[in-house]
Amino acid sequence: MSAADHPVPATTASRVADLLLDVLGTVPTSAESESDEPLRVSREMARRAARKAAIASGSLALPPGALGWLTILPELVTVWRVQAQMVADIAAVHGTQALLTREHMLYCLFRHTAAQAVRDLVVRMGQRMLVRQVSVNALQTVARQVGLRLTRAAIGKGIARWVPVAGAIGVGAYAYYDTLQVAFTATRLFQKPPPPADVPRLLLRRH
């Protein structure tokens, strides 16, 4: 039986959802300022955050066997916090940090792993994807759906903990990749749309 087919205890998925809502209960602030080169700065931030997440995740995955299972939830929370701060920083360099909400965080963190769960958080307006605010109940529903998906994935990651060093390397590598995917989603979301093709270049120049 694969991890995706493994029965997931409802209490475990609910616990993951509660931890997620707790992490996102306060949207991180950023010390970054708006940049003239937000894409370049965002890429640098993404690489730094990915390395940080990989080191933290791999370190927590080192304990072998049953002890390793106890580190799964702390690992998730640690990586979420790294990624949430990165999203806030990317929003800041794009000049949109003041508008950041929990819905933005949920969408950016889980668009690539739980697309079905977060799809209703966004609407397309022309060339932009806009994140809409939802009720507390709706937010909890999304968190539960994400929690279920993440718990299934965590079962597979937990199996890797029975092979300490190799498992830790694999877990760290996944955290690195996962964080880059979060950065990609955040950059696309916060990136300002390109100017209309018919606007004279002269009008777009800074004076």
List the domain range (segments joined by +) for residue 197: 8-204
**Structure tokens, 185:** 């989603």
For the beta carbon of residue 199, count every other beta carbon within 10 angstroms: 9
Q: Is the pTM of this model over 0.75?
A: yes
Whether residue 21 is contained in a domain is answered as: yes
Question: Looking at the 3D structure of the chain, how many domains does it have?
Answer: 1
From the list 102, 120, 144, the residue with the least C-alpha distance to 10 is: 144
Whether residue 104 is contained in a domain is answered as: yes
Whether residue 149 is contained in a domain is answered as: yes
CB 108 within 8 A of CB 189: yes
In single-letter form, the type of residue at position 48 comes to: R
Three-state SS for 63-111 is CCHHHHHCCHHHHHHHHHHHHHHHHHHHHHHCCCHHHCCHHHHHHHHHC
pLDDT band at 14 (very low <50, low <70, confident <90, very high): confident
Q: Rounded mean pLDDT of the chain? A: 80
Whether residue 19 is contained in a domain is answered as: yes
Q: What are the pLDDT digits (tens) for 48-107? A: 999 999 998 888 766 555 555 566 788 889 999 999 999 999 999 999 988 899 999 999
Whether residue 3 is contained in a domain is answered as: no
Whether residue 1 is contained in a domain is answered as: no
| Strand positions, DSSP E, 1-127 | 122-125
CB 73 within 8 A of CB 19: yes
From the list 147, 145, 118, the residue with the least C-alpha distance to 134 is: 118
How far is 29 from 43, CA to CA, in rounded Å?
19
**Structure tokens, 182:** 């979060």
Contacts of residue 17, defined as CB under 8 A and 6 or more positions apart, other chains included, come to: 140, 143, 144, 146, 147, 148
Mean pLDDT score, 146-173: 67
